[in-house]
């Protein structure tokens, strides 16, 4: 049922955007079982703070900065991904 929904919604979104075949859904999401209060706190902090990281996200077409990995690559004389 989920695969059906994702397939048809992605197809319709791409029809509306004029981008046939473009990926819509995130692949390889990360699951984690919350086993204790410390884990819950860490995950909660990530969720609250994550939106501020959008300016550094490679999937953001309006990227305004570089993330720590890009800074490290540049310091190693390598081109950021």
Q: pTM higher than 0.85 for the full model?
A: no
Q: Tell me the backbone φ, ψ of residue 56, rounded to 5 degrees.
A: -105, -5
Write the pLDDT tens digit of every residue in 3-21: 899 999 999 999 999 999 9
26: left (phi over 0), alpha (psi -120 to 50) or beta: beta
Tell me, what's the pLDDT at 70?
75
Q: For residues 10 and 27, is the Cβ–Cβ distance under 8 A?
A: no
Tell me what the pLDDT averaged over the chain comes to.
84
Helix residue ranges per DSSP H, 1-81: 2-17, 37-49, 68-75
In this predicted model, which residue has the larger pLDDT, 33 or 60? 33
Q: Is 24 exposed, middle or buried (0-12, 13-18, 19+ CB in 10 A)?
A: middle
């Amino acid at each position: 049922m989920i695969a059906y929904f994702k397939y048809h919604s992605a197809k319709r979104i791409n029809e509306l955007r004029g981008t046939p075949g473009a990926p819509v859904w995130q692949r390889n999401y990360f699951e984690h079982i919350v086993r204790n209060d410390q884990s819950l706190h860490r995950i909660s902090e990530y969720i609250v703070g994550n939106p501020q990281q959008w300016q550094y996200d490679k999937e953001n077409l309006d990227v305004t900065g570089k993330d720590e990995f890009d800074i490290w690559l540049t310091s190693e004389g390598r081109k950021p991904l």
